Amino acid sequence: MDQRKATLTLAGLFIAGSALFSAPVAQAQPAETSSRVIQSGRASWYGPGFHGRRTASGETFNTHALTAAHRTLPFGTKVRVVNKRTGKSVVVRINDRGPFAHGRVIDLSKASAQAIGISGVGSVTLAQL
């Protein structure tokens, strides 16, 4: 009886301990206190024809990375992009210049656009972090 009690106690400690040290699968992003809305407008995405080519910043473009092209923001700037229709947001890093289509404020990588539910062109707000 003592051995069974000890085994149950150890099993309970193991389960409790592993719950303390395991990370949750999905975590909410903390609210950014230092962000400010800098622009609103239309966003599109680019990728398939540019994947593997050099960006304006000199790095290789990866359509699966959370990056974007902006006309004037410095390379490396982090921007929270919010889809006005869905309310979803994604943080991207500016690594390229564009968009070159009239009336657009940002070009997202395919992964960034998918993260906020844009499959073509969407209405967004940009906040610099």
SS3 80: strand
User: Does 46 fall in a domain?
Assistant: yes
Residue 3 lies in a domain: no
* Structural domain includes residue 17: no
Question: Which pairing describes strands 89-96 and 67-69: parallel, antiparallel, or unpaired?
Answer: parallel
Q: Residue 17's pLDDT band (boundaries 50, 70, 90)?
A: very low
Residue 16 forms part of a structural domain: no
Neighbours of 86 (CB within 10 A): 11
Query: Domain range spanning residue 73?
Result: 36-128
pLDDT at res. 27: 32
pTM over 0.75: no
Q: What are the pLDDT digits (tens) for 36-53?
A: 899 999 999 987 789 999
Residue 19 belongs to some domain of the structure = no
Q: What is the mean pLDDT of the chain?
A: 81
Residue 24 lies inside a defined structural domain of this protein: no
23 assigned to some structural domain: no
Total domains in the fold of the chain: 1
Position 12 in a domain: no
- The CATH code of the domain that includes 72 is 2.40.40.10
